[in-house]
Amino acid sequence: MNVIDEIKKRSVYVDKAIGELLPITEPVELYKASRYLPDAGGKRLRPATVILAAEAVGSNVNAVLSAAVAIELVHNFTLVHDDIMDKDGIRRGVPSVHVEWSEACAILAGDTLYSKSFEILSRIDCDPVRVVKSIELLSGTCAEICEGQWMDINFENRDDVGEHEYLEMVKKKTSVLYAASAKIGALLGGASDEVADALYEFGCLVGIGFQIYDDVLDLVTPEQILGKVRGSDLMEGKKTVIAIHAMKHGVKLDIFGSGSATISQIDEAVKILEDSGSIGYANDLAMSYIQRGKAKLDILDDSEAKDVLLAIADYMIERAY
C-alpha cells in the first residue's frame, strides 16, 4: 500500500471543497491572503484522517467533507501564526503569508481561517448533537494548541524542562489536532462514543510519536532530503526528548543553543548523541507511541480505511523527512 497515494485520493475532495467553502470574496485581499497557504498545498494528512475515520466506521467522504475542510483551515491558521512568531519566511516552498502581505494582514488572515472553520463545521448536515460535540472538541483543541505553543515558548528560557513536560507540550501543540481529526470523523460518521474516543487516543498517541521522530530526523537526515538545516533544533537550544535525555546523562554539546554550527560540528554532536544512546532512546520512544496508538484501532472492524490508518501510523516513523 502506498500511503501517500491513499491520502491523495481523499485530499482531492478536500482541495475542491476548500474553493467552494472558502470563496475569495470581498474584501478580496483578505480572502486571497486566507486562501494563500491552503492553496499552496500540504500533505492534507489531517483532513484525510477525518475522511478515513468516517470510512472506518461505515460512513463516507460526503458525510464529513465539510468537517475535513474545517480541520484543514484550523491547521493552516496555526501555521500562519506560527510563521509570524517564529519569523519564518518560507512555508510550503512559497513566501509566508506575513512576507507576502504584512504581519497585520497575516494575523487577520489566520483569524479568518479560524473563524470560517467553525462556521463551516456548524453547517454540516448531520445529527445536531454530533455536530455540537464536534464543535466543542475542535474549540477545546484550539485552546490546547495555544497552550502548547505557550509552553514551547516558555521552554526557551528554562534549563530544567523534564521529559514529561516536553511530552505534554508536544501533545497539546501537535497531536491534539490529529486526534480531533480522527474523533470528529468518527463522530460525524455515526460511531459510538467508545469508538470515537478510541480513535481520539489513536490520533493522540500517533501524533506524539510523529513529533518525537521528527526530532530524530532533524539530526540524522541529510539536508537535501530534510529541506532545512540539519541540527537546527540543537543550534536553537530546543528541549527535545533527545536533548533532555542527553542533559540528564551529563552529555555536553558545544553547539546546543549556539545559533550556528559548521557541518563538522553538527556531525560531531550527532555522533555524541548516538554514542550516549540519546537518539536511540528517542527513536524507541517514538516507536512505542506508534505501537500503542495502532493498538487503539483494534476496536474497529477490518476495512480498507482501517488498514490505511494503520499504514499512516507506520509512515510516521518510516518517513525520510
Please report which confidence band the pLDDT of residue 296 belongs to, taking 50, 70 and 90 as the band edges: very high
> Which tens digits make up the pLDDT trace of 156-201?
888 889 999 999 999 999 999 999 999 999 999 999 999 999 999 9
> Which tens digits make up the pLDDT trace of 193-222?
999 999 999 999 999 999 999 899 988 887
Q: Is 84 helix (H, G, I), strand (E, B) or coil?
A: helix
Q: DSSP for 267-290?
A: HHHHHHHHHTTHHHHHHHHHHHHH
Please report which confidence band the pLDDT of residue 320 belongs to, taking 50, 70 and 90 as the band edges: low
DSSP, res 301 = P
Q: Is residue 321 part of a domain?
A: no
User: 44 lies in which domain range?
Assistant: 3-316
The total domain count for the chain is 1
The phi, psi pair for 319, rounded to 5°, reads: -70, 160
Q: Is residue 202 part of a domain?
A: yes
DSSP, res 203 = H
Question: How far is it, in rounded angstroms, from Cα 242 to Cα 290?
Answer: 18
Question: How far is it, in rounded angstroms, from Cα 303 to Cα 189?
Answer: 15
How far is the CA of 15 from the CAs of 44, 59, 65, in angstroms? 9, 20, 10
**Whole-model pTM over 0.85:** yes
CATH of the domain at 135: 1.10.600.10
> Which tens digits make up the pLDDT trace of 105-140?
999 999 999 999 999 999 999 999 999 999 999 999
Question: How far is it, in rounded angstroms, from Cα 321 to Cα 312?
Answer: 14
